[in-house]
Structure formats: C-alpha cells, structure tokens
Structure 1
Amino acid sequence: MSGTLLIRLKGLGDIVHLLPAMRMLRETRPDEPLGFLCQKPFGAIVPPDLGVTLFQLPPHASFAETLSLVRRLRRQRYDRLFDLFGNPRTALISLLSGIPFRAGFDYRVRRLAYHATFAPPDPNRHLTHLFGQFLEHFGCGGPLGHPRLSWAAADEARAVSLVRGLDRPLLGINPHTTYPSKAWPLGHYRALADRWHAATGSRVLVFWGPGEEATARALVADLGPARACTHPALTIPEFVALLARTDLFVTADTGPMNIAWALGVPTVALFGPTTRRAVAPRGDQHLVLHHPDLACLECHKEVCPDGACMRELTPDQVWDQIWAKFGATVESWTEAAGRLVPQPGERGTAVGRGPRGPTEAPPTGGVRRRAVFLDRDGTLNPDPGYISRPEDFALFPGVGKELRRLREKGFLLVVVTNQSGVARGKFTPETLAAIHARMTASLGEDGAAPDAIYVCPHHPGYPRTGRPNLCLCRKPAPGLVLRAAEEMGIDLAGSFVVGDRVKDAQMGINAGVRPVLVAQPGVVFPDLPGVAVATSFGGAVDWILSQP
C-alpha cells in the first residue's frame, strides 16, 4: 500500500491548524491512503469527508499500547511518514514503523529517527503555514485554505437545544488552559461577565472540556443564573457545533480559541507567555490582546511565580478594547433582545418575515457577521410554479452539503424569497410555514438549517383594488435583505446573494451585496456588470469562498 501518514499527537488547536494541509493532501492525492496519528480523542476534530484513517493513542499510553499501535501502522504499509510533532515518543514510533521514508523536524538526537529533517527558517511562522512549508519542503506542497470543521446533524440539533432560550448576543467564555501561566484569572472572567450583562442584559455561556467542569460550574454559581450558564458534557463535534452558535468568544491561548477562529466566530484572544504570531486568530473580526509593555512576554514558561502578563491584563482593559471594536452594535443587540430560539411549535409572524422552524437556530445578533442570502425556488429547490403543499417541496441534490461549507466558514444563511402565492390565495401563511419547516428540517440533516427566512408575501396586482399594491420587500427591491441586515447585525459589504434570476442579482446590487447567479441548464444571462455567474450551486459556493 502507498500513502502518507501524518503525526501530530496534540493539542486540539494544533490539529485544527493541520487540517488545511490534510485537505490539500487529500485534494492533490485523491486516490492515496491518508493516515493520521494523534492522541485520543483529538481525532474527532478531523472532518469525515477527508477520508482519513485515524490512529489514536490513549493519553499516557503504556509501552505495550505504543507497540500495539506500531504493529497496526506496519500493517498499513504507508510509504511516507511526516512527524509534525517530534517528541521522543513520536520519534520512536516513526523509527519502529518501518515506513520507507520518514521525515521530521530537526530536533537534537530525535533527528536520527528520520531519513530527512526540516529546520524551518521561521519556527514561529503561523502554524497553518508552517505545516504547509514542512510538506512543501518534501515535495508534497499545495494551496492551503482556511480550516474547515464539520459536525453531524445530531450534533447540530444538540447545540440548538442548548442555546434555546438564551438571549442574543451570546458571549462564550473559556476560562481554562492546559497550563497555569496561560490562564486569565477567574476573577477577571467574572468581572467581564458582569460588564457584559450590564451592557446587553444577556448571560455568558461558560465552555469547558474534560477535567474542567468543576471550575466552570463554580464560576457559573458565583455569577448566578441571571449572568451565566454552562453546558453538559459534550463530544468534540457537539462542542464545535455549540461554539458555532456564539456571537463572540473570549478565551486565552487554547484549543477552543483555534476552533472559534476556524468557525469564523469573532474571537477575543488573550495572550501572555505564548507566541502570538504562531497561533493568534487572523482576520479583522478578531481581537488579540496582551499586556502592553512587559519584557517577559512570550517566555513559554508553563508555571510562572509572578503571572503578571495575564493578571495585569485587567478586565477594564479587555472590556474597553471589546467595546471599542464591537460596542457600536450593542444598542442594536439590546433592541433585538426578543430574538430567541423558538420553542417547539412557535412560528414567527412579523410582516415580511418568513416562519421559522421549531429547531431552527436564532438569527445571530451583535458582532457584524457576513451572510449569504439565498433565493428559494429555482436555487435551493426546483421551481414548478407554486409549491402549495409541504409534500411537494424537495431540495436540489447536494444543496445542504454546499450550504454546510458556507456555515463552516462562518457565514449566516438567510433565505429571502418572494411568495406571492399568499397574496394570490394559492396557499395560506400557515401552509407556507409548513413548507418552510420541511425545508428547514431537510437542510438541518446536513447541518445547514437557515438562520432566518424572510418572505415577501405580496404581489402588486393582488388583492385586486384597482391600483398597484406596492411594497418595499418584493424582489428586486432590497427590503428583505435590508431588514435582515438590521435585525441580525449583518455586514452587507462582506455578504453575498445567490439566486437564479436577474431580479435576485438586482436585489443584491440594490442592497449593496455581491450577487452570483446559478445558470440552470439552457439559461443564458445577459452580461451584467458586477454579477458573477456559476453553472451549479456548488460553483456559486466555490466562487463565494474564493472572494476576499
């Protein structure tokens, strides 16, 4: 058997940074086996669509367990091994694996376990690109994208159930670290939660992982139920799905910090003893904070008798920075405090806004988020005319999986649709609600339930009154998009609209959103300045993800 084995035992955040390199190897070598060795349970972060064979070593594995793993590796007969961890254990595993070509970092005596080594010119380069540079050095390079995380529909449903009833905006905090010197003091998190509640009236959601529950629950008890809550024990995919539901995330340098960055959740990352440049979240929507002038920053000590770098980064300083970057939207957040996750059986009734399904996630408030506005008929599903029964509604094949790609990049998914059948009397608002519940459930199976559905139920000729019945929401008017942007805190300049008709593109242009049209077979669009055209829905998603 040919193929490649990658090794990175831990931590969870480092493996998130390795995912782009895994995807690059899968895409450039689609027919070759790809294996990955890590510490259990971190392999759960690897998306199943990569087709990676996982080898997970238990924490504190015995020598016998290590030898058993080596025997499994030898049976796979990989022809390349890249040790991207390079501690004594992985060097020994590499040596005993019998793989014909073994490469690792140029670390002291461990280099003897490999046929070739790599000494990075800049060892503090951003970790995603350091891994890519390592593979490129050995002839296995290629383009690297942003980390793409995934989770199952059941994980999505669990996350939705956990945020049901929480006010927006939802601030997540992670007060835990793998070693003490990286930790921001618990009292600082407590003070930050107080300020958040005073400004927004919302609770903070305290995240935790294995071994951290007692600390999380003690913090929640100290803050009280009006200011904080937490979650039960979660699997890694459930944790990811829940974190994707937050509007802002505050944490020190941790694995969850890297997960939030990968998800596109605006992240406030607090740094002290570790190197910011190597792992800090990149992008304008994130905030990286550290002590302003300590000479000992980035010392890499796991235990520090002083701890000034984190202790002297005060809650007031952090809050002031959060307010300066995100505070302009707080008033709109609090005005929209009624936007809660619907309880079972509830339906939205606002004029011009579509019904929301019983398990649909709420619109995201607070920090301005990018969105993809989606036409319904002809774009998400075939358009036979008027769909007047839920059982007649069916999605185009593969649409849910493509929408999932957008969600994993942090986009909100907002359906905007003209449904003049209501005005024409072809179906009732209740029937339309049932149709959209079916659509939401179908997309939810792929983890892509829309964040909101906005509907124009009007038609200029109905009811027949002898004069036009004009509205501001019927496409190509931009009313649906503008209303969604106001209610959900959407960054229009960074958002897109996908449709199948010129009026969809015109709506986008009128609203200041970049449009892309999906040309169904036999359809030719006129040359429209500023409008992209794709030959498939997946092609439209590819185009969106290629844009800055």
Structure 2
Amino acid sequence: MIDIDPQEIRRILVREVSWVGDAILTLPALEALDRLFPQAEITVLANGWVSGLFAGHPAVDAIIAYRTEDLHRGIRGRVRLARELSSDGFDLAVVFPNSLDAALIPWLARIPRRVGYPTDGRRFLLTHPVPLQTAPAGRHQVERSLDIVRALGGDGGPSLRLPVTPEARESGERLLRDHGVDPADPCVALNPGSIYGSAKRWPVERFAAVADGLVDQRGARILLIGSAGERPILEQVAAGMRRPAVNLGGRTDLSALVGLLERVRLLLANDTGAMHIAAAIGTPVLAVFGPTDAEATGPLGGGARIVREPVPCSPCLLRECPIDHRCMTRVTVDRVLHAALEVLDTNRGSRPPTRSRGSPARGSSAAFLDRDGTIIEDLGYLGDPAKIRFIPGAVEALRALLRAGFRLVLVTNQAGVARGLISEADVRRVNDGLAALLAEAGIPLDGIYVCPHHPEYGPPEYRRDCDCRKPKPGMIQQAVRDLGLEPARSVVIGDHVSDAALARAFPGMRGIMLRTGHGAEQWQKIQNGELARPEHVADDLRAAVEWFLAQAGGRDVVGSHPA
C-alpha cells in the first residue's frame, strides 16, 4: 500500500478520463477517494465534454474544464494550465487515464504527490506509481480506477451512483416539451450509434423493427438519441419505422441527456456512453453487445441487461469487422424485442409504482423487506403466484409498519434467474401477485427491487459481481433515489445475516434477521461462531416489527415478542 498520511492531504486533483462511459466507471473510485480523505477538497480536471458528469456529485467539490481545443491547446496551453494548478495548493494528484499527457500536467504543476499507473513511458512523472497487474478474465473495467484508490488505502465496490441535478432534470423535461412529448408518455430511448466504430452497431433496420414492436405492443413513445455526428444513423432508424419517432440527434448536451435518460422507462443501446449514464442513474438498460467484452465493459446496475450472440471471434475489440459481422447480425429482432418487453414489464414491479396514498415528502422513513422466508414462505425459486403463502403474522406486521408511517419496499435476490431455473417474467408475476394480495389487504408497496444476477452462474448478462445482489447496497441505494427515502430513519429485515448486514452501508439504519425461512440455519451458524451476529434477531416479522417500533418510539403493538 502507498504510504501517504491522509492528515497531510487537504486538496486533491483528480485527472479524469476522456470518454463519457469511461468517466462514469470512475465514479466508485471518486467516492472511495472521498471516504479515504474526508477532510480534503476534491477537484476534478476533465475534458469539457465530460466535465458536466461530475456536477452535483457528492464526492466532487470543484471542476476544472480541460479545454484542449482552445485555452489549453498545445504546449503553451498546458503550461498555462499547470501554472494555474500550481497556485491552487494541491497536495495530491490522482491520475486515472493512462496517457503521458494526463500525468504531465500534475508534474508541470509540481503537485508533490502524483499517483497513477506507470504506463505510456510516464513512470518518471509519478511519485507513487501503482503496479499494473494483469486483469483476470471477467474483471470489470470499473476496478481499474478503484485499484488506484485501493493502493492508497481506500476501499469500495463497483456501485455506480450518478446524481441527477435539478438543472439536468429541467433540461431534459424542457427538451421533451419542445418536441411535443407529454410527461405521461411511456418513453423508450434508442441509441443506435457508436462513435467507436461500425462493428459495435447493431443493424439500424433491426432497431427500427424493435421500436415499432414497442409502439405496437406497449404504446411506447420512441426517442432517438445520439450525437450530431450520429444523426444520419438516427434518420435511417426513423425512416425504417412504420411508427413516428422523435429524433433528438445532436440536440442533447450532457445535462439534457442525463435528465432525459432519467425520464425514460428503458434505454435500448449498443455499447455506448449513454448506456453507462442510464445504468448509473438507475434507468433500465438493454444493451446489444458484439465485438466488445460484456464482462469487462458492460453496464453495471440492477436494471441492466445484455443481449449478445457468442461467436468464436468475439470479443475482438475491433472498430470495423473484417468478415461478416456475425456477432451482431445473429442477434435477431425477435430476441431483442422479447428482452425489451420483458425488461419493461419487469420494471413495472421493480420501480416505484403509482401510489394511491399520496406523495410523501422526500426524506421518508422506510422498511426494506426481503420476500421469501420473510413475508412469504420460502418454496425455493418461486415462479407461480398461485403458490404464494404468507408467513403467519407477516401481514399484520406490514400493516403495523404502514400505520407507523413507514413506506414498504421489497428488496429481493432472485438468483434463480441467472441459474436458468425461473425467468424474469416469472419473478414479475410472483411480485405482481404478492403486491395485489397486499393491496387487497390495504397494504400498498412503494417499490419492488429485484437482483436477478449471480457472480458465478448463468450467461454474461446475469453472471456478474453486481452492486445490487445483497448484501451489497445497490437496490436500497436505488430505492432511496427513486423514492426520496431517509436511510437513517429506516430498517432492513430479512431471513439472512446478509439482509441485516445491508444496514451497515447506511449510517443510522437498523438491521434485523429473522429465524423464519433460512433464518433457523443462519441462527445456528451464528451460535457456532460461523457468522457474525446481526444487530437484532427476531422469531418472525411480527416480532421484528414490534421490537423495531419500540426502539423507534412507535406505538403499534402487533402481538408478539422480540427474540
């Protein structure tokens, strides 16, 4: 580990990468850096076209635009920038890009500590080079920048979080209003281009066919997005459609793009920067992959899904295909349309549903609840809603939470999807059935969040070390953003130690494990010293809620006793 005393670091300069998608993948490293140096001010130096991504991010205190097209062009421009930086008193420079130029600026600015990979012949420009290790197969690119911060003593996982500023939200809404898109329209965005090269592009006529299918079968309003240079591709998609589409090519700056992507129900894209933006703000993504490595550069987040056709020559990482583009042409319209419909339908249950009990103020308290073994009997990988059986006392417990003012959010791992034992549609049917049964009992759910992944099993779109699989906090983080919740006044309850452990990621949150479901086995392992004891262990959901409400000062009693 690099020996740098955090107490000596007051100002940090972070040299950012130049591509939008790559910049998104450095966000976990920025958050880890902020945790490692909580007293330091972090300034990001980024090219103008990506600098807007960092506006409003809680880990970033200031942004400097690296204007290589005018102010910082050439040697004189770089010297000018270095002089400006040298007067700002930076104690540490963290260099994420691998280029010589990226390390040159901090060196010219005489920043005393300069950390980064010794690539591109720049070892002499760094005071603290980080050894570059060969990445094992399946390791995601997000880990590259995280490893730099880990070398400094930081920690953190690949959990993406891109806050949407009010300005970005207003820019996106204004753009849609100007193009006649109603706020109630169920919008789906298509991003069929790719600056990287034609090899990454799924055929435009197939994008058009899928778009028509989404209009016909789900009444979607199709938005075509891309840069000004990609507008001809968008025009080809629009011309190939039977239904009208809104062509926004070249009309979205970065702020408007972020706001627009927050608004849509699905982004269908190639491997692009927009794909990573959408995943980072929690918008469901369906990405078509061909020549690039889905395991290394695929979208992160619980709502992301990949469609690809395994062929021997993929991933080749080529910009242009020298043969027949089989990795893309073998991905059929029916396959992508089916996946898009499934994501849209699953998303109905995994995003905040329309509520009939008003719109609580932001900062509401919530109960984050596991499903199987907590609310309903654990029957294995459940795919049939007719088999739902409530655990005795669970409905009364949920009603008590509701009366006490807590919003109810389901967070459930469903690795049976990755294992091929059930489908996402099966999960949606069970969740919809559960929500309907609870609604009949006067207990509305505010949101249902599902992780279908597994780190070791399934095809690439499901076999991933994601940020949403409990005990990682991705699902709760997404719910907090979607619903405006206050974690410090909330509780998480489930039948695994990993459920209760989720609370550790959120200061002030309470964590409770139940002895129902898998809880009996988990409790035995706790007794044997194999697992750490959670904050509290209760016999069932009813007992857990009674204990929690007593701790929180609630007055509801649900007729049981905590363990």
TM bucket normalised to smaller: 0.5 to 0.7
- Which residue, 279, 291, 297 being the options, matches 1:273? 291
Are 1:35 and 2:48 matched, yes or no? Answer: no
2:150 corresponds, among 132, 136, 149, to: 136
What's the RMSD between the two structures over aligned residues? 4.8
Taking the aligned partners of 1:80 and 1:480, their CA distance within structure 2 comes to 53
3-state DSSP of counterpart to 1:259: helix
Aligned-residue sequence identity (percent) comes to 20
Structure 1 residues 309 and 284: alpha-carbon distance in aligned structure 2, compared to 1, 3 A threshold: farther
**Mapped pair 1:146 → 2:159:** yes
Deviation at 1:68, TM superposition (A): 1.8
SS in 1 for 2:349: coil
TM-superposed CA distance for 1:194, in Å, is: 2.6
Aligned: 1:67 with 2:31: no
**C-alpha spacing 1:42/1:534, structure 2 compared with 1 (3 Å):** farther
Aligned to 1:412: none
Report if aligned partners of 1:24, 1:143 keep a CA contact under 8 Å in 2: yes
Report if aligned partners of 2:10, 2:39 keep a CA contact under 8 Å in 1.
no
Deviations 1:65-113 (A, max 9, x none): 2222211221122122221102132132233121112122132422222
Do 1:127 and 1:278's aligned partners in 2 also have CA atoms closer than 8 Å? yes
1:321-470 maps to which residues of 2 (within 5 A)?
A: 321-323=336-338, 325=339, 327=341, 367-371=348-352, 380=360, 399=363
Q: Which of 312, 317, 335 is the matching residue for 1:320?
A: 335
| Residue of structure 1 equivalent to 2:63 | 54
CA contact (8 A) 1:197 1:227 kept: no
Partner Cα separation in structure 2 for residue 141 and residue 228 of structure 1: 46
Alignment of 1:208-223 (within 5 A): 208-223=226-241
Q: 1:20 aligns with which of 10, 14, 28?
A: 28
Indicate conservation of the 8 Å contact 1:326/1:367, yes or no. Answer: no
Instruction: Quote the offset at 1:160 in angstroms.
Output: 3.8
- Residues 1:373 and 1:30: Cα distance change in structure 2 (over 3 Å): farther
SS at match of 1:132: helix
Match of 1:174 in 2: 191
CA contact (8 A) 1:273 1:299 kept: yes
Counting matched residue pairs gives 402
Cα distance change on mapping 1:366 and 1:120 into 2, 3 Å: same
CA contact (8 A) 2:191 2:274 kept: yes
State the one-letter code of the partner of 1:250: L
Deviations along 1:181-235, whole A, 9 cap, x unmatched? 32223222122223323332323211123533443345324426x3422337233
Q: Per-residue displacement from partner, 1:126-183 (whole Å, max 9, x unpaired)?
A: 232221122111x241234622222333432443452743776432110121221322
Structure 1 pair 282–150 and aligned structure 2 pair: CA distance change class (3 A) = closer
On the 8 A contact 1:7/1:38 being kept in 2, the answer is: yes
Q: Deviations over 1:365-405 (max 9, x none)?
A: 9553243898989x95xxxxxxxxxxxxxx5xx739x99xx
Other-structure match for 1:231: 248
> 1:159 matched to which residue of 2?
172
Aligned to 1:84: 96
Q: Aligned partners of 1:203 and 1:477: how far apart in 2? A: 32
Relative to 1, partners in 2 of residues 1:374 and 1:321: Cα closer, same or farther, differing over 3 Å? closer
Aligned mate of 2:265, from 229, 247, 252: 247
Q: Which region of structure 1 is more displaced relative to structure 2, 214-223 or 274-283? A: 214-223
Change (3 A) 1:535 1:193: farther
Q: In 2 relative to 1, CA 490–140 (structure 1 residues): closer, same or farther, beyond 3 Å? A: closer
Q: Distance in 2 between matches of 1:91 and 1:536?
A: 53
For residues 155 and 246 of structure 1, what CA distance do their matches in structure 2 show? Answer: 14
- SS of 2:121 mapped into structure 1: helix
* SS of equivalent residue, structure 1 residue 189: helix
TM-superposed deviation, 1:315:
3.4
Q: Write the distance in 1 (CA, Å) between the matches of 2:343 and 2:195.
A: 33
Matched residue, 2:322 = 305
Secondary structure at 2:148 match in 1: helix
Is the contact made by 1:186 and 1:219 (CA closer than 8 Å) also made in structure 2? yes
The residue type paired with residue 204 of structure 2 is L
Q: Cα 1:205–1:326, aligned 2, differ >3 Å: closer, same or farther?
A: closer
C-alpha contact (below 8 Å) 1:4/1:35 kept by paired residues: yes
Return the letter of the residue paired with 2:110. G
User: Does the CA contact (< 8 Å) of 2:210 and 2:337 recur in 1?
Assistant: no
1:1-54 CA-to-partner distances (Å, cap 9, x unmatched) read 842222123111111111122122223322212121211121111142334322
Instruction: Give the secondary-structure state (helix, strand or coil) at the position aligned to 1:82.
Output: strand
1:290 aligned to 281, 296, 308, which one? 308
Once residues 18 and 343 of structure 2 are traced to their aligned partners in structure 1, the CA distance between those partners, rounded to angstroms, is 37
TM norm structure 2: 0.59
Change (3 A) 1:302 1:66: farther
Unmatched 5+ stretches in structure 2:
1-8, 367-398, 400-434, 453-474, 495-499, 511-537, 553-563
Are the aligned partners of 2:28 and 2:159 in contact in 1 as well (CA < 8 Å)?
Answer: yes
One-letter identity of the residue aligned with 2:29: A
Determine if contact 2:21/2:274 at 8 Å carries over to the other structure.
yes
Secondary structure of 1:67 counterpart: helix
* SS, match of residue 70 in structure 1: helix
- The equivalent of 2:383 in structure 1 is none
Work out whether residues 12 and 93 of structure 2, in 8 Å CA contact, stay in contact via their aligned partners in 1. yes
Q: Does 1:529 align with 2:543?
A: yes
Query: Residue 41 of structure 1 aligns to a residue in which SS?
Result: helix
What is the DSSP-based 3-state SS (H/G/I as helix, E as strand, rest coil) of the residue aligned with 2:162? Answer: coil
Of 277-286 and 100-109, more deviation after overlay is shown by 277-286
Q: Cα 1:284–1:38, aligned 2, differ >3 Å: closer, same or farther?
A: closer
Query: For residue 9 of structure 1, what is the aligned residue in structure 2?
Result: 17
Cα distance in 2 between the residues matched to 1:309 and 1:5: 44
Is 119-128 or 45-54 further displaced after alignment?
A: 119-128
Q: TM-score, normalized by length of structure 1?
A: 0.61
- Taking the aligned partners of 1:105 and 1:534, their CA distance within structure 2 comes to 51
**In the TM superposition, what whole-angstrom CA distance separates every residue of 1:465-507 from its partner, at most 9, and x where no partner exists?**
xxxxxxx99x99644626x88xxx987997889999xxx99xx
Give structure 1 stretches of 5+ with no counterpart.
Answer: 334-364, 381-394, 404-415, 417-471, 509-513, 520-526, 538-548
Return the letter of the residue paired with 1:30. Answer: P
- When residues 273 and 8 of structure 1 are mapped into structure 2, their CA distance, relative to the original with a 3 A threshold, is farther
Q: Which residue of 69, 79, 98 maps to 2:110? A: 98
